[in-house]
Homo-oligomer: A and B are copies of this chain.
Amino acid sequence: MTMRGLSAFPITPTDAAGRPLPADLRRLILRLARAGVDSIGVLGSTGGYAYLEADQRREVLETALDAAGGRVPVIAGVGALRSDTSAALARHAADAGATGLLLAPMSYTPLTEDEVFGHFETVAGASDLPICIYNNPSTTHFTFSPALIARLASLPTVTAVKMPLPAGGDFAGQIAALRADLPPDFAIGYSGDWGCPDALLNHADGWFSVAAGLWPDQTLTLACAARAGDRPETARWQARFQPMWDLFQAHGSLRVVHACARLMDLTDAQPPRPILPLPDALTPRLRAAMHALDD
């Protein structure tokens, strides 16, 4: 159940030395819990998990769980280059009270399908938590074949996949093809915010959303309209989000939501170097895109 609906992925605010800022994270999590998103995904790509040490990641998850206070399920990103690191993080997440795991096959040396299967098997063996396959070739540099997703679904706790947007936009075709080889209760969700309302209109199970990490109410409204099949309302909200989607696509959502969180006075955090903050010249466009989401 955890891996369905709107999952909000906040940034992990950090100081200039890369250390998490727990008070700022708590502020972000409280906004999401109050808005009532279906789940909160901490330590996803937007949460900068790849740039944090293992002990910092444990601290971030504990802070988020405490702030969420059981009101909203929390999914923990446990991706790492080494299988033993991911397995240890999975054990910690289970002990700490997370509801599910998001597992990205981070890679440096390009991985084979057997290696990625072994990685998931190792992490699945470390806890009883449900695992969502994180399929995002642009960051992990590994592309899951439909056959590998089906093979991974044979592991009893692998119950969901987070897919990138299909190149041609054919959600219905891709979802039907995936479902044909997956257990009936396996959840198929998407990331890439600009395309996800269309995924929900086509009966995807979930939207893993960067925007929901900062604008949970507006994203929930859009997600609800799309899940209900209300195309006019979906189109109306998509139009309001369009300036933000344009910024996400041009500059990367991680850079954009860091800049917006600063403009919203939620944190002073910057992305981890070498990632650069957006130039000040973009501030008017950021403000306009945020204004389009105001009531």
Contact: A252 with B106, CB < 8 Å?
no
| A45 on interface, CB distance cutoff 8 Å | yes
21 example contacts (A-B, Cβ-Cβ < 8 A) are as follows: A17-B84, A18-B82, A18-B84, A45-B108, A50-B109, A51-B82, A51-B108, A82-B272, A82-B273, A83-B273, A83-B274, A110-B139, A111-B274, A112-B276, A115-B275, A115-B276, A118-B274, A118-B276, A119-B273, A119-B274, A122-B274
- Identify the closest chain B residue to A116 (Cβ): B274
A109: contacting residue among B17, B45, B109, B112, CB under 8 A:
B45
Number of copies: 2
| A280 on interface, CB distance cutoff 8 Å | no
Between A50, A141, A275, the greatest number of chain B beta carbons within 10 A of the residue's beta carbon is seen for A275
Residues of B within 8 A of A83 (CB): 273-274
In the A-B complex, list the 5 residue pairs whose CB atoms are closest, starting with the nearest: A50-B108, A119-B274, A83-B273, A115-B274, A83-B274
A141-166 contact mask (Cβ, 8 Å, vs B): 1 or 0: 10000000000000000000000000
- Identify the closest chain B residue to A115 (Cβ): B274
Contact: B274 with A105, CB < 8 Å?
yes
A47-86 contact mask (Cβ, 8 Å, vs B): 1 or 0: 0001100000000000000000000000000000111100
CB distance from A86 to the nearest CB of B (A): 9
A45 to B109, CA, bound (A): 8
A81: contacting residue among B45, B51, B105, CB under 8 A:
B51
